[in-house]
Amino acid sequence: MKEKTILKLKLNTDPRWVNIAGKNIEDILVDHAWCEQKAASTGISMIIHYPEKTRLVDELTDLVAEEWSHFERVLLELRKRGFQLGRPRRDDYVVQLLAHVRKGGARERQLMDQLLVSALIEARSCERFKLLWQHIADEELSKFYYELMVSEAAHFVSYVDLAKEYCDPVVVEERLQELLKIEGEIVTNLPVRDDRIH
Amino acid sequence: MKEKTILKLKLNTDPRWVNIAGKNIEDILVDHAWCEQKAASTGISMIIHYPEKTRLVDELTDLVAEEWSHFERVLLELRKRGFQLGRPRRDDYVVQLLAHVRKGGARERQLMDQLLVSALIEARSCERFKLLWQHIADEELSKFYYELMVSEAAHFVSYVDLAKEYCDPVVVEERLQELLKIEGEIVTNLPVRDDRIH
């Protein structure tokens, strides 16, 4: 329950997920690699769009390096097991969440939504990594997911803090609550799959 | 002359460039930061497009980490001097080179062109970093450019080797010669600017 409190997620992952995902490590690792790539690319994209925001640029520069080092490590886990990096797949979870980034209007509102959606993706990844850490049989991989869980929790906090740096913290908190509700609904409505992190 | 031999560039940079660029360190660092970002993003993009090519994925994964660590370091040099990361600019040199990547036809031909164009961008960056290393007054920055020159030379070699791994080495060598000629012409026709690496 602790991570639910820290991360504020409205809904725990369906317990069936980790049982089926844990049996399909190849697809989970491939999907995970692409999640790290998307996280790195999203950070780069925000730096390109907001180069004048010093704190955002500095923190996301570190975050991109960290996400890319995770990509490297997931790739290593694939290689150790003789697996290929499969093709990237459409990530319905992320696509549906991104649809709630409000475009147009004040530039700060869009930035707030982008930062909060990124925060929620990190939070959900963290929750799933916790399940992998606790339940998968492969001890080495279990330790790996423990480390990544800790790292993603820190990224959740960074993204929310950045939103509060550039936008009214009261508005950020309200919007975070709205998006947490939306995120819970998206997760409820998506099928439980053995080949996806989300 | 040595780097001309290693890198095979057909044309040395106009000697006026380093004199004017060395006096406009702020713009040069900003442009340089975005060059590193583009190099990292190009590597990521190739990994997304060719995930089945093990050697390409593994080598470009390392290369992306290195390019991003350069972005971090350029950002640090900007911050030390109290400069902002300015907005990204259109890079006419890169745009003109990329126009020579032949699309359609065999997938391997496009891959070869992409790898060779990336190799040439690394080679030209290496040549310019050498000039910065040798000529700029700021000692710390001069050392920084020495390191980066070495790194970019290695990237040039990696890109050409990857092209030879996936395509007929004789064809690669012929195409490299063609592209070197084209690159020289592009450089000749671009204005000498104090706010661009290329």
Q: Which residue of B has its CA nearest to A60?
A: B72
- How long a stretch of residues is chain B? 198
Assign residue B42 the CATH number of its domain: 1.20.1260.10
pLDDT of residue A63: 98
Listed residue (B40, B114, B50) closest to A86, CA to CA = B50
Structure-model confidence comparison of residues B123 and A195, the more confident one: B123
Q: What's the mean pLDDT in B15-22?
A: 88
Question: Which residue has tokens 């697809």?
Answer: A27
Is residue B13 assigned to a domain?
A: no
* pLDDT value at B30 more than 80: yes
Is residue B2 assigned to a domain?
A: no
Residue type, B181: K
The 3 state secondary structure assigned to chain B is CHHHHHHCCCCCCCCHHHHHHCCCHHHHHHHHHHHHHHHHHHHHHHHHHCCCCHHHHHHHHHHHHHHHHHHHHHHHHHHHCCCCCCCCCCCHHHHHHHCCCCCCCCHHHHHHHHHHHHHHHHHHHHHHHHHHHHHCCCHHHHHHHHHHHHHHHHHHHHHHHHHHHHCCHHHHHHHHHHHHHHHHHHHHHCCCCCCCCC
pLDDT of residue B1: 42
Nearest CA distance, B77 vs chain A (angstrom): 12
- Mean pLDDT taken over chain A: 93
Is residue B194 assigned to a domain?
A: no
Which residues in chain A are contacts of B31 at CB distance < 8 A? Answer: none
Is residue A118 assigned to a domain?
A: yes
Nearest CA distance, A57 vs chain B (angstrom): 8
pLDDT of residue B21: 87
3-class SS of residue A161: helix
* pLDDT value at B152 more than 50: yes
State how many domains chain A has: 1
Q: How far apart are CA B190 and CA B95, in angstroms?
A: 12
Q: How many other CB atoms are found less than 10 A from the CB of residue B104?
A: 7
Residues B49-108: tens digit of each pLDDT: 999 999 999 999 999 999 999 999 999 999 999 999 999 989 999 999 999 999 988 889
Residues A126-165: tens digit of each pLDDT: 999 999 999 999 999 999 999 999 999 999 999 999 999 9
Q: Which residue segment(s) compose the domain that A49 sits in?
A: 20-189
Nearest CA distance, A32 vs chain B (angstrom): 14
**What pTM, to 2 d.p., does this model score?**
0.94
Q: How many other CB atoms are found less than 10 A from the CB of residue B98?
A: 15
* Pair of tokens at residue A133: 């850490």
* Pair of tokens at residue A197: 């992190």
Q: Do B48 and A62 touch (CB under 8 A)?
A: no
- Report the complex ipTM: 0.94
pLDDT of residue B6: 65
Give the pLDDT band (50/70/90) at residue A4. low
* Inter-chain CB pairs, A–B, below 8 Å: 63
Is residue B1 assigned to a domain?
A: no
Is residue B151 assigned to a domain?
A: yes
Q: What's the mean pLDDT in A16-43?
A: 94
The percent of residues above 70 in pLDDT, for chain B, comes to 97
Taking any CB pair shorter than 8 Å as contact, residues of chain B touching chain A are 37, 40-41, 44, 47-48, 51-52, 54, 57-58, 61-62, 64-65, 68-69, 71-72, 75, 79, 84-88
* pLDDT value at B160 more than 90: yes
Nearest CA distance, B38 vs chain A (angstrom): 10
Is residue B168 assigned to a domain?
A: yes
Give the pLDDT band (50/70/90) at residue A95. very high
Q: Which residue of B has its CA nearest to A34?
A: B48
Nearest CA distance, A176 vs chain B (angstrom): 29
User: Ramachandran region of residue B104, left (φ > 0), alpha (ψ -120 to 50) or beta?
Assistant: left
Q: What's the mean pLDDT in B178-184?
A: 97
The percent of residues above 90 in pLDDT, for chain A, comes to 81
The percent of residues above 90 in pLDDT, for chain B, comes to 81
Point out the residue among A68, A86, A88 whose CB comes nearest to the CB of B68. Answer: A68
Backbone angles phi, psi at B105, to 5 degrees: 70, -160
Q: Which residue of B has its CA nearest to A88?
A: B48
Is residue B175 assigned to a domain?
A: yes
Residues B94-110: tens digit of each pLDDT: 999 999 999 988 889 99
Backbone angles phi, psi at A106, to 5 degrees: -65, 140
Q: Do A57 and B85 touch (CB under 8 A)?
A: yes
